[in-house]
Structure 1
C-alpha cells in the first residue's frame, strides 16, 4: 500500500505532487527547494544557506516518516551552477557523515521559483 507523507515542517507542494511517498519500506522524497516552511520565504542569500534549508526540509520528511538520514540510499542534486558544487558538498557532508548515499549532481538551466539548488532522495529501511 502507498502512503502519502505530508507534514508542516517541509514546504507544501507547489504543484500536483506529494512531499513524499512511503511504499512498503521505501520512502521517495520529492525534490525539495530552499523554502522555509515556517515563514514561506526562500532561503537563498548564499548557496550554503540554500543547501542547508533543502536538507533540513528533507530531514523533516525523512524523520516524520520514521526513517533516519542514515537510511537515505540515493540523492539527486540539481544545481543552477556547477560552480557551487564544492560549497554544496561541504554542507551535504554534514548531513551524511558515514556511508554517504549514492548520488548524482547535475547542472540545470532553471529550477522552481528560480532557486539555486533542489535535492530529492530515496530512503530504505
Structure 2
C-alpha cells in the first residue's frame, strides 16, 4: 500500500509530524490546534475560537488530500478542560456535515500554554 504525506499552507505545520497521511483511501489528520496559519498565533483565547480554527485546519488537510468535510468519518477531540465541552460542542455544531462522523472527546494530556483543544480527523477519499 502506498503512503502519501499530505501538506498544505492552509494549516499549521510542525517538523516533527505530518499534517496528514493518505493510505488505502483514508486520510489521517494529525492532532491540530487552533493556530491561525496566516499569523502563527492562536485564533483566540476562547474554546469556541480555537475549536473553529482547529476544525478549519483539519478540513484544509483533508481538502489538500482531495476530500471535503463530507468525507470525514471520525473526529477526535481533546480538551484541556473537560468543562469546555459545551463551548466546544457549540462551535463544532457549526462545522458538522449533514451526515455526522463518529466522534470522541477526551482530556488533553499534554499541557501546551494557551491551547484549549486539539482535534484530529480521519476521512475516506478512496
TM-score, normalized by length of structure 1?
0.92
Give the deviation of 1:120 after TM superposition: 0.3
The equivalent residue for 2:29 is 29
What are structure 2's unaligned runs of at least 5 residues? none
Match runs of 1:3-18 below 5 Å: 3-13=4-14, 15-18=15-18
The equivalent residue for 2:55 is 55
SS at match of 1:48: helix
Describe the shift of the 1:18–1:109 C-alpha distance in structure 2 as closer, same or farther (beyond 3 A): closer
Q: Matches of 1:21 and 1:45 in 2, distance apart?
A: 29
What are structure 1's unaligned runs of at least 5 residues? none
Q: Deviations over 1:68-115 (max 9, x none)?
A: 101101111000111111111111111114221111101234344441
TM-score, normalized by length of structure 2?
0.91
The equivalent residue for 2:38 is 38
The equivalent residue for 1:70 is 70
SS at match of 1:91: helix
SS at match of 1:92: helix
Q: Matches of 1:111 and 1:76 in 2, distance apart?
A: 17
What is the CA RMSD across the aligned residues, in angstroms?
1.4
Q: Matches of 1:73 and 1:41 in 2, distance apart?
A: 28
